[in-house]
Structure 1
């Protein structure tokens, strides 16, 4: 089955602040910003800015399992909010995606959005020359392949194993290189 993202998830622009966050007072509400998104597609909640927010509504709050989409910049990928941020909002230009978990798994949607097919869709519809921008409407209309939940979970599991394998292969390559260089240096020392 194929579906437009807006048919299987709610999509909301990040909260637009009127002033710079680093000048705001400490408070009870954490703010998830672009700098809090890691290269391995998670939200790092360790150093979120805490601010006071008067007009906070439930629809503004982020929660565990939400997806954060980078709508601006060179990279337009999705990131999973995999740890509970407490009372937190997502700041613009990020976009919050909350899936209908009866239709699609958050992990699967993150994986799918970050694949070359979806990335090509975003690239072809990006606005701006120096800094790409993906509109909310473009995100809403991306077509998603939606297999059964069991198949989605299998895809997520296999993708995670492939990522782990890649990390292990890189570690092996570094250790092998270190071993070869050590042996070569020993060979040089014996020859002198």
Structure 2
């Protein structure tokens, strides 16, 4: 089925130019730098702002943000962590907001499906532009979505969540390893500053006797 038959699709908040900061407003703006398909939204990095005009486009848990431009049209799920912030949130205009309307489609599954190779190939084929590629709303509306039964969707979600946890663990191990090696390098550099300069022996080349 096409996405437009399964969800409502709208554009992010129509800011013009740079998003203005308004500390204490209680409304944060999710920009592309704040979100990733794997890590979700880094709410602590989102700036507070005071939107003008439309005020009915606040994000809800279960919404999916799809990057409208860039080298990859990734999807980001708005999960329960939004509620924990105690703030309202809006999406920057570089995102489309997808809100499921079909009872037989789980938002978590749709988020997963939009990030998979078949969907990404569709976006690549339908992107417009040369230097900066972009997906138009009608292209997103017409993307085909496979909708298995709810039990299978839940099984896929469980497997995807397990894999994400493993990837996060691997990434944390990589960072820990890099930090450990950096600390060793810093210690060695510090030793160079305090230790006396050792005598360096060199091998001299002498002409051979024939």
- Both structures adopt the same fold (TM-score exceeding 0.5): yes
Structure 1 length-normalised TM: 0.79
Asked if 1 retains the 8 angstrom alpha-carbon contact of 2:37 and 2:75, the reply is no
The residue aligned with 1:100 is: 101
- Contact kept, 8 Å, 2:37 with 2:115, in 1: the verdict is no
The answer to whether structure 1 residue 131 and structure 2 residue 132 are counterparts is: yes
Equivalent pairs, count: 171
Q: Deviations over 1:98-118 (max 9, x none)?
A: 112612111111110111111
Deviates further, 79-88 or 23-32: 23-32
| 1:159 matched residue in structure 2 | 160
Deviation of residue 165 (structure 1)? 4.1
Q: Does 1:72 align with 2:69?
A: yes
Q: Which residue of 1 aligns with 2:207?
A: none
For residues 41 and 132 of structure 1, do their structure 2 counterparts lie closer, same or farther at Cα, with a shift above 3 Å needed? farther
Q: Which residue of 1 aligns with 2:150?
A: 149
Partner residue in 2 for 1:18: 16
Q: 2:120 matched to which residue of 1?
A: 119
Residue 41 of structure 1 and its aligned partner are, at CA, apart by 4.5
Q: 8 Å contact 2:21–2:47 — kept in the other structure?
A: no
RMSD (Å), alpha carbons: 2.3
CA–CA distance in 2 between the matches of 1:166 and 1:53?
A: 36
Evaluate the alpha carbon distance shift between residue 61 and residue 143 of structure 1 in structure 2; reply closer, same or farther with a 3 A threshold.
same
| Separation of aligned partners in 2, 1:54 and 1:15 | 9
Residue deviations 1:30-75, cap 9 Å, x none?
11111110351511111221122343432x1111111010111111
Structure exhibiting the larger radius of gyration computed from Cα positions: 2
